[in-house]
Amino acid sequence: APAGRRPPTTTIPSTGPSTCPAGPSPSTPTTPPWRSSPPRGNPPGRIEVTRWFRGTVAIGSDPKVTWTMDGDRLVLREKCSGIVADCAAKHRIEVPRGVSVKVEEKDGSVRARGFRDALSIRTTDGSVHVTDSSGPLELRTGDGSVRAEVSSRTVRTHSGDGSVRLELGAVPDLVDSRSGDGSLTIGLPRASYRVDTSTGDGGEDVSVPRDDSSSHVVTARTGDGNLTVRTVN
C-alpha cells in the first residue's frame, strides 16, 4: 500500500448459528455472509452441523469455512491466511443415537456430551471435556487437559502435557489413564479394584479398596505430576 495509507481490510463479522445438514451429497459449501437459522433438533439418521465464525484479514484472501462429506467422514475446515489475520470458528455437531463417533482436531478444544456409543476424541493442541456419556471412551490430546464426568465401563485417556481428571458414575471394567506432564485424578464408585499406578516425579495417593483378583482394572501413569485414585461415593 502507498505510504501513509492503510491497507484494505476484509472483515467477516461474527455470524451464527448457521445450520448445515450433513448428508451423503452435500451442497456447495457455504461462504460468508451466511443466513442464520436456529437449530431445530436432529432428525433421525441425520447429522446437523451448526457453526459460528468471525474473521479479519488485512492483506490476503477472504477468510472462510467449508465442510465436505467423504463417505462416512465429515470434514470441517477453516481457512484464514494473510499478513494480518485473525479468525475464530466454532462448530456444534449433533449426531443420531446408535452412531459411533471419532473426532480428530488439530488446534482447538473439543466438548462432547450425551453419547451412549463408542466415542474417540484426539486433538493435537487443545483440551477435551466429555460429560453425560456411557459408551466406551478414548480421549487423547498432545497438549491440553482431559476431563470426563461419565458412566462409561471402558475409559482410556492420554495427555502429553496437561492434567487428567476423571469422575466415573458407574463401576468401570477398565480405566487406563496416562499423563506425560500433569496431575492425574480418578474418582471411582465404591468397589474393589485391581490398581496399577506409577509416577515419575510426584506424589501418589490411592484410597480405593484394592483387590488383585478384581475384574475392575485401573491403570494410571504420570511422568511428572501428582496421582490420585479415590472413591467418590
Given a cut of 70, whether residue 28 has pLDDT beyond it is no
Let me know: does 58 contact 7? Beta carbons within 8 Å. Answer: yes
For the chain, domain boundaries:
10-94, 101-231
How many Cβ atoms sit within 10 Å of the Cβ of residue 147?
20
Per-residue pLDDT band at 84 (split at 50, 70, 90):
low
pLDDT tens digits for 109-144? 999 999 999 999 999 999 999 999 999 999 999 999
Let me know: does 93 contact 49? Beta carbons within 8 Å. Answer: yes
pLDDT tens digits for 39-51? 344 455 678 888 7
Per-residue pLDDT band at 87 (split at 50, 70, 90):
confident
Which of 13-22, 96-105, 222-231 has the lowest average pLDDT? 13-22
Let me know: does 67 contact 47? Beta carbons within 8 Å. Answer: no
Q: Which amino acid is at 158?
A: H
How buried is 156 (Cβ within 10 angstroms: 0-12 exposed, 13-18 middle, 19+ buried)? Answer: middle
pLDDT tens digits for 162-214? 999 999 999 999 999 999 999 999 999 999 999 999 999 889 999 999 999 99
Residue bearing cell 445438514: 21
Its pTM surpasses 0.85: no
